[in-house]
Amino acid sequence: SKIVVDESRRVLVGATFTGPDTQEMVHAATVAIVGAVPVERLWHAVPSFPTVSEVWLRLLEEYGL
C-alpha cells in the first residue's frame, strides 16, 4: 500500500492498496482526495470497528438479503 501527498498543500492526492478487503481504504482515500482533507486531520479519522460498511452488511443480512 502507498499514499501520495502533495507536500505543498499537505493533502492526499493518490493512494493504492493491495490485499483482500481493501475497498474501505479505497473509499476513505477517495473521500480524503476529493475533499482535499489535510493529512494532519486524517490522522484523527481512523475508523472504529466495526466499520459502517460492515454494520450495513449485517443489517442487510438480518433483513434477509
Question: 6-18, pLDDT tens digit by residue?
Answer: 989 989 999 988 8
pTM reported for the whole predicted model:
0.71
How many CA atoms lie less than 13 Å away from 48 in the CB half-sphere? Answer: 1
DSSP the chain: -EEEEETTTTEEEEEE--SSS-HHHHHHHHHHHHTT-BHHHHTT-PPPSS-HHHHHHHHHHHHT-
Please count the structural domains in the chain. Answer: 1
Question: 8-50, pLDDT tens digit by residue?
Answer: 998 999 998 887 778 888 898 899 999 999 988 887 776 666 6
Q: Residue 25 belongs to what domain range?
A: 2-63
Confidence of residue 56 (pLDDT cuts 50, 70, 90): low
